[in-house]
């Protein structure tokens, strides 16, 4: 039986792992976005900074980063 750490390493192998972001483009969460309260909350909680760090770390580790965007 494998340890928890070994199982995590296996499922988080950068060659088979992707980070997906959703609805984080400028028109949704940037300046001039229609939902100002959402923009304010993301700024207050530091969510976008956390997402930036996560995506940078994933890329640095060799994982794929996919930005899913809204289609209207």
Q: What is the pLDDT along the chain (72 residues), one digit of tens a residue?
A: 579 988 888 888 899 899 999 989 888 898 888 899 999 999 999 999 999 999 999 999 999 999 998 776
Predicted TM-score (pTM) of this structure: 0.78
pLDDT of residue 6: 87
Please report, for the chain, the start and end positions of each structural domain, with discontinuous segments joined by +. Answer: 4-68
d(CA 46, CA 49): 5
What pLDDT, on a 0 to 100 scale, did the predictor assign at position 1? 58
Paired tokens of 10: 């296996």
For 63, phi then psi, to 5°, come to: -85, 155
pLDDT number for residue 39: 93
End-to-end CA distance of the chain: give it in Å, rounded.
48
- Token pair of 20, please? 């997906």
Rounded Cα–Cα distance for residues 11 and 27 (Å): 33
């Amino acid at each position: 039986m494998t340890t928890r750490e070994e199982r995590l390493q296996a499922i988080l192998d950068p060659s088979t792992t992707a980070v997906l972001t959703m609805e984080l483009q400028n028109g949704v969460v940037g300046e001039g976005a229609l939902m100002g309260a959402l923009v304010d909350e993301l700024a207050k909680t530091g969510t976008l900074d956390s997402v930036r760090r996560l995506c940078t770390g994933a890329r640095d580790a060799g994982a794929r980063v996919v930005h899913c965007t809204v289609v209207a």
